[in-house]
Amino acid sequence: MAKIAFIGLGNMGEPMAVNLIKAGHILNIFDLVDAPLKRLEKIGASICLNAKQSVENVDFVISMLPAGKHVEGLYLGEEGLLNYISKETLVIDCSTIDVSTTKKLSFEAINKGISMLDAPVSGGVNGAIAGTLSFMVGSSKEMFTLVETLLQDMGQNIFHAGNAGSGQMAKACNNMLLGILMAGTSEALQLGIANGLDPKVLSEIMIKSSSRNWTLEVYNPCPDVLENVPSSNNYEGGFALDLMLKDMNLAMKASIESNSPTPLGAISRNLYSQYSNEGNGGKDFSNIFNLFSQN
């Protein structure tokens, strides 16, 4: 059992915190929104007035925030937590942010004698609720050993990707490919539909053939091919298209910084950007399927 400060209780952070409480950990919680704080208080968490208060006398700090600017502000801002966190406390940032900001935070933490690692997740809201997330950890091997058991209380697959920033880089690569696969799968299905094929039959053919992929088999973008996926629920729930666009932009930033060509990633990012600009950013990212429709 550990005492944990959990900061950031959005769609992902709240169920992650719930699973930590279920595992027997003691949680100090902070968020700018009252509703998740009150829900977690009912199951045993302690609400804190501010982030600074939440990190007092804890073993771990876990942050789950929307973007790099929020994470940097939390730890390095005017009231930056790195000024208040104990050297005995281990900091885990589970946000999905750019690699350069992650490395900057790690460098500043080291200068203050604080251990900080990046551990972005994959698996979506359903994975967060079920406790089956995948964690991609950027840290030393020694730090990874210290957090692996704790992360297993929120996830199923815990990977040590490498040193600081490696977790974010692995997440960027994963989600760039996922975005490419979803766009490509949608394009292929719409081509089949336009030429008279039943999308269920076509999906089954491709699943049993060389184009088999996760988006076809588990998260099909065509409505009514699979049950209990966003495409069969008017693209509600799941992983918002704007969040996929954010992650693909992070991959493109890493591509530029490392001078690594990603032409398919760039084309796919532009397609998501176009569809978001048409007002579809709040729907699940599989809604990119409709960009390729004849209608």
Domains by residue range for the chain, with CATH: 3-163 (3.40.50.720), 169-292 (1.10.1040.10)
Q: Is the pLDDT of residue 64 over 90?
A: yes
CA 219 to chain centre: 17
CA 180 to chain centre: 17
Of the pLDDT bands very low, low, confident and very high (cuts 50, 70, 90), residue 77 is confident
For 154-172, give one letter per residue: b (16+ CB within 10 A) or e.
Answer: bbeebbbbbbbbbbbbbbb
Of the pLDDT bands very low, low, confident and very high (cuts 50, 70, 90), residue 195 is very high
Of the pLDDT bands very low, low, confident and very high (cuts 50, 70, 90), residue 126 is confident
Q: pLDDT for 9-44, tens place per residue?
A: 998 999 999 999 999 999 999 999 999 999 999 999
pLDDT, residue 28, reads: 98
pLDDT, residue 114, reads: 97
The catalytic residue among 69, 87, 141, 171 is 171
Instruction: Give the integer Cα–Cα distance in Å for 160 and 27.
Output: 25
Instruction: Give the integer Cα–Cα distance in Å for 96 and 165.
Output: 11
Q: Which helix (H) or strand (E) holds 121?
A: strand 121-122
pLDDT (average), residues 271-281: 97
Of the pLDDT bands very low, low, confident and very high (cuts 50, 70, 90), residue 237 is confident
First to last CA, the chain: 56
User: 93 forms bridges with which residues in the sheet?
Assistant: 63, 118
Of the pLDDT bands very low, low, confident and very high (cuts 50, 70, 90), residue 122 is very high
Shortest CA distance to 118 belongs to which of 77, 157, 90? 90
Q: Is the pLDDT of residue 295 over 80?
A: no
Of the pLDDT bands very low, low, confident and very high (cuts 50, 70, 90), residue 82 is very high
Catalytic residue check, 171? yes
Which residue in the block uniquely carries the two structure tokens 């009150």?
Answer: 38
pLDDT, residue 145, reads: 97
